[in-house]
């Protein structure tokens, strides 16, 4: 009960502050709001900031051309959320008849993210779409896996672990994906110490320890999935530049970038319970121009991050490869077909 009352107070506080949704309006709030300081004088960004607002990466073609949803579009998103939430809370399972209804666990086992007015994570280019791939990137990506293209969540052939993408293999979501909303485990925690900021991401099991002393990046031959992050303060904004990627992973489920990928993030606490987040992504070996996303993290002190040791019981690879061999014996299609589109 104590937690509920506290949480209610946070919600009321949020309503009074009237936190805005997009980068432009957040910038205005950043001037109006002075964040608390840590005992050593840095702006205090610490806390649980789960990515619990569901915003698609790119603006769906079905939406209007505005950066925010119309009232009608938002009403539809909210109605869909309420309907799903009501279905999640039904005490009894619906009669499924003589057979199962889905190959996935039931929908009420995922975690719901709240609808917002923001039309897409991508705010630049202004059309809300990731810029086109360069011709070189198209050729590079097509050449992967001996010409079959990148590994996938739903591979067309299941002959090797490399037919699955890096995330499906429990290795990493990489950067920037680790910061982005997903269907569950969307916790992010910020912890600060003198000279350092640490960002923990629940999906999947990542911690970035970011030094703030302007030291240079590690040597150019050191390349990792999450890259090498360096931070500094610009006023009340934490700016983090990440380089030294290994070029093996994409963003938001897309094809791998190159090792020239650079991500610059800007974290600004614009209200007691809102962290404005902007990230500019550039990789001349992949996209024709840089692009930018915006995300409004909401503070949720009740959100507990649990360890997600993804490899612990990851039987998927064994089951999938063994299953594909069995299907081959039966002369059947071994592809892991995608039965419905989804936001990963």
Partner 1 sequence: MRRTVFAIAASVSLFIATAPVWAHHAFEAEYDNKKPVHLVGKVTQMEWINPHSWIHIDVTEPDGKVTSWMVECGSPNIMLRRGFTKHSLEAGTILDIRGYQAKSGDNKANGSSVTFQDGHRLFVGGSNPDDPESKRNPGQ
Maximum Cα interatomic distance, the chain, rounded to a whole number of Å: 67
CB 312 to partner 1: min, Å: 4
Structure tokens at 222: 């050191």
**Bridge partners of 294?**
278
CA atoms within 13 A on the CB side of 175: 31
Report how far residue 118's alpha carbon sits from residue 67's, in angstroms, rounded to the nearest whole number.
6
Q: Which of 24, 138, 160, 319 binds partner 1 (CB under 8 A)?
A: 319
Nearer Cβ to partner 1, position 133 or 305?
A: 305
The mark string for 150-179 relative to partner 1 (x by CB under 8 A, - otherwise) is: ---xxx--x-----x--xx-x---------
Secondary structure of residue 277 in the 3-state scheme: strand
CB 135 to partner 1: min, Å: 30
**Bridge partners of 198?**
191, 209
Q: Which of 73, 202, 265, 273 binds partner 1 (CB under 8 A)?
A: 202
- Contacts (CB under 8 A) with partner 1, residues 13-52: 50, 52
Q: Which stretch binds partner 1 (CB under 8 A): 58-66, 217-225, 283-291, 297-305?
A: 297-305
Q: Which of 64, 96, 138, 288 binds partner 1 (CB under 8 A)?
A: 96
Q: Which of 24, 85, 160, 207 binds partner 1 (CB under 8 A)?
A: 85
Q: Which of 64, 70, 101, 207 binds partner 1 (CB under 8 A)?
A: 101
Q: Which stretch binds partner 1 (CB under 8 A): 68-76, 88-96, 188-196, 265-273?
A: 88-96
Q: What is the DSSP string of 242-272?
A: EE-B-S---STT-----TT-EEEEEEEEEET
CB 184 to partner 1: min, Å: 5
Residue 225 near partner 1 by CB under 8 A: no
Nearer Cβ to partner 1, position 165 or 283?
A: 165
In contact, 116 and 297? CB cutoff 8 Å: no
Secondary structure of residue 185 in the 3-state scheme: coil
Q: Which of 7, 24, 37, 75 binds partner 1 (CB under 8 A)?
A: 7
**Bridge partners of 210?**
197
In contact, 129 and 59? CB cutoff 8 Å: yes
In contact, 75 and 83? CB cutoff 8 Å: no
Nearer Cβ to partner 1, position 13 or 106?
A: 106
């Amino acid at each position: 009960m104590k937690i509920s009352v506290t949480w209610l107070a946070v919600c009321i506080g949020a309503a009074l502050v009237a936190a805005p949704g997009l980068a432009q309006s957040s910038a205005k709030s950043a001037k109006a709001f002075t964040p608390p300081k840590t005992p050593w004088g840095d702006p205090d960004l610490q806390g649980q900031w789960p990515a619990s607002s569901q915003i698609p990466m790119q603006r769906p073609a079905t939406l209007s051309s505005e950066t925010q949803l119309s009232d009608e579009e938002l009403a539809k998103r909210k109605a869909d959320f309420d309907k799903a939430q009501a279905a999640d809370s039904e005490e009894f399972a619906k009669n499924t008849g003589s057979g199962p209804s889905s190959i996935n666990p039931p929908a009420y086992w995922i975690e719901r993210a709240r609808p917002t007015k923001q039309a897409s994570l991508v705010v630049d280019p202004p059309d809300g779409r990731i810029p086109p791939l360069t011709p070189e990137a198209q050729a590079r990506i097509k050449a992967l896996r001996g010409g079959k293209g990148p590994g996938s969540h739903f591979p067309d052939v299941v002959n090797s672990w490399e037919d699955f993408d890096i995330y499906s293999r429990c290795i990493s979501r990489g950067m920037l994906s680790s910061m982005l909303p997903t269907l569950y485990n969307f916790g992010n925690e910020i912890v600060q110490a003198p000279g350092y900021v640490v960002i923990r991401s629940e999906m999947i099991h990542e911690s970035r320890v970011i030094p703030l002393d302007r030291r240079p990046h590690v040597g150019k031959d050191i390349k990792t999935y999450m890259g090498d992050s360096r931070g500094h303060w610009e006023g009340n904004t934490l700016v983090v530049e990440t380089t030294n990627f290994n070029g093996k992973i994409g963003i938001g489920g897309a094809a791998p970038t190159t090792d020239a990928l650079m991500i610059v993030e800007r974290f600004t606490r614009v209200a007691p319970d809102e962290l404005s987040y902007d990230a500019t992504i550039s990789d001349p070996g992949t996209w024709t121009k840089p692009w930018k996303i915006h995300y409004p993290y909401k503070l949720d002190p009740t959100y507990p991050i649990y360890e997600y040791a993804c490899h612990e019981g990851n039987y998927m690879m064994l089951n999938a490869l063994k299953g594909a061999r069995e299907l081959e014996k039966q002369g059947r299609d071994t592809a892991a077909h995608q039965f419905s589109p989804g936001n990963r």
